[in-house]
Amino acid sequence: MAAILLDVDGVLHVSGEPIPGAAAAVNRLREVGHRLRFVTNDTTHSRAALAEELRAMGVQLDDEELQTTPRAAAKALAGRRVLALTMPAIVEDLEGVELVGDSPEVVLIGGADETPETNSVFSYMNIARAFAEIDAGAELYSLHKNPWWQTSRGPLLDSGAFVAGLEYAAGVEATVLGKPSPAYFLAALEAVDADPELTWMVGDDIEADIRGAQAHGMKTALVRTGKFRPDAVERSRVMPDAILSSVADLPEWLERRP
């Protein structure tokens, strides 16, 4: 049996709306004995809240099976003084990080969400403050660097655009904690104790999910849900091992493989 790393947003749900058949597919994969890990760039829920939301959609999972970027940040930035431009919901997962308003060692940028809260977290004042701190020597970290994500209202600008703007203005390069960072994929492989060659990454993002996983020698399945765009696949030089209509098709597809 394989190990399977599943992206969450755009694979299991879009804007909290379950993708038809996704929960049944995940449960089937588990039943037949695959080892699962949910590897998300979600930056707007605490891990406990996201796990609960997925269970409410019928996906069987334990909180510990869900790998999230705020918890990766807590590990990477433990004990450090951090100015965090992140959604309030994830603060509970930043345990051990000293959140400060001035003289930080690190500026941490989180993802946007669909609420008006995004307006205040990423206000000009806050972005300019982040720039000033980086200019004064603070390191720049980001939970992810996604330029946009798919919502039920269509594509929305994500915080990767602000991260790129800060990199441009301050002449620095951000340390990205989520996909496609090597550390994030390695943590997932380690958690399921898997060989990359025997591991599948399933995602809707040709860059963050598919290219990132291929760089580690994993097999990849791109799904045509969430942020999937045919032209992005054509433009990209990345070739997934499979392109499936939806994660709902994955169990049968894997069972039929020679």
Please tell me whether residue 42 binds Mg ion under the rule CB under 5 A: no
| Least distance from Mg ion to the Cβ atom of residue 211, Å | 13
| Least distance from Mg ion to the Cβ atom of residue 192, Å | 19
Q: If residue 141 lies in a helix (H) or strand (E), which one and from where to where?
A: strand 139-142
How many residues can be counted in the chain? Answer: 258
Rounded-to-integer distance, Cα 222 and Cα 241, Å: 8
Using CB under 5 A, which residues numbered 154 to 193 contact Mg ion?
Answer: none
Which position among 2, 10, 42, 218 is part of the footprint of Mg ion (CB under 5 A)?
10
Q: Is 229 exposed, middle or buried (0-12, 13-18, 19+ CB in 10 A)?
A: middle
Query: What DSSP assignment string belongs to 5-39?
Result: EE--BTTTEETTEEPTTHHHHHHHHHHTT-EEEEE
Tokens of 183: 């550390």
Sole window of 45-53, 85-93, 106-114, 196-204 interacting with Mg ion (rule: CB under 5 A): 196-204
Sole window of 6-14, 80-88, 132-140, 247-255 interacting with Mg ion (rule: CB under 5 A): 6-14
Sole window of 15-23, 29-37, 169-177, 199-207 interacting with Mg ion (rule: CB under 5 A): 199-207
Rounded-to-integer distance, Cα 222 and Cα 229, Å: 11
Count of residues of this chain found to bind Mg ion when the rule CB under 5 A is applied: 4
Which position among 204, 219, 228, 240 is part of the footprint of Mg ion (CB under 5 A)?
204
Position closest to Mg ion via CB: 10
Binding residues for Mg ion, rule: CB under 5 A, are 7, 9-10, 204
